Amino acid sequence: MSNELLDQVAVITGGASGMGAATVREFVKAGAKVTFIDINENGAQKVSEETSATAVIGDVSDSTFCANTINEVVSTHGRLDILVNCAGTIHRADAAGTNDDQWRQVMGVNIDAVFYLSRAAITHMVTQQSGAIVNFGSIWGGVGASGVLAYCATKGAVHQLTRAMALDHAEDGIRINAVAPGEVNTPMLAFGRSTVPSEEDLAALAEATIPVKRLAEPEEIAKVVRFLASNEASYITGAIVPVDGGYTAR
């Protein structure tokens, strides 16, 4: 991999673990100046020490925090080239099993934050007449799944937000795309379950549901994000790119 993001100023959310942390590492290796956001202070400190990326601790569902963080990055570096909206959460339940607070939490992290951060970033990118935003959608943004109602709703919204923003800013030099990961070997696979799935459980899940018969690793998703953020993807905007081992091909 060349330094295709050399000196590009990037903000990445959810950078303390999983696909977000893998994206931070990928962008730093590609030469970007990375600031990442997470609410997990311990995890963020570890990733920051490992990569020398700048960690900002805060809640991305807070619109004021989002705007202030973007503005501070621009004040420090003079510009913002890339925004990656990776932060996510999940509540495993149907409608009857989802109370108002649980619904709002998933909405707040998975879709409100994408809007708040993108709105703040686009203000600066329009002035520059350049920039790239990569959002994290999901296979469940395009197809349904039982027992994850709120998550499916938010990821469908991310896909539509991505398309609409891309059209709004196609003439402003700003490209806006989304990745739609499938089942990825991250802590979210276990989050919210009554029992933590074993390696055997995960292998059985992959065998039963994924055409390539294995889970993705976070680094495989991060490489696609890096491509979409780079000039190598200069003619791609408004796209939802599945990275799912063939899951949605069916």
Catalytic residue annotation: 151
Buried b (16+ CB within 10 A) or exposed e, 201-230: ebeeebeeebeeeebbebebbbbbbbbbbb
Which residues touch 217 (CB under 8 Å, ≥6 apart)?
A: 22, 184, 185
Cβ pair 198, 127 in contact under 8 A: no
Cβ pair 20, 12 in contact under 8 A: yes
Alpha helices in 78-173 (DSSP H): 100-107, 113-128, 149-168
